[in-house]
Structure 1
Amino acid sequence: MKINPYNSVQQNPYRKQIEKTEKANDVQAKRDKLEISSEALSMQKRTKLEKERLEKIEAIKQKIDAGEYKVDSQAIANKFYDFWNQS
């Protein structure tokens, strides 16, 4: 059997493995991306619900800071019960 050192470079058994890992890295780099236009963001922020939500959050924060915020566990349990027993 004749050994030719120049021919062995072309038949590198690790070359296929290297190519697979490079392809896998390219696939991982591509991901889904969500973009929301500036117009959509401005429409979302101008809604009446957003203002009401911010007011409620601020009121709750003030009650928590003052130590006046009380959680009604019975009302929460009723909401969970109603949610899980809906038909």
Structure 2
Amino acid sequence: MKINPTNQTHLSPYQKQMQQQQPAKQPNAQSDKVEISNRAKAMQDNGIQKARDEHVQQVKQQVQDGEYNVDLNQTASKMVSFFRP
């Protein structure tokens, strides 16, 4: 008595026909695009960047002059709170 394997690798004629009819899907060539209106751009530039730049320049000047002091206790507590879960 001959026993045929149960995991036959050939496909049914219906499955073969369906595979031939379905063309290979091509990836969508569209890309995402974001547009920011002039009003939104104006809202972004409300002086925050200028104030930030001024603060950075002040800190740089203090460091160069040797007047910038670091609070070691505050730095250590921030580091501990950052690394503790």
- TM band (smaller chain): 0.3 to 0.5
What's the TM-score once normalised by structure 2's chain length? 0.43
Structure having the larger proportion of residues in helix: 1
Please tell me whether Structure 1 or Structure 2 has the larger radius of gyration of its CA atoms.
Answer: 2
What's the TM-score once normalised by structure 1's chain length? 0.43
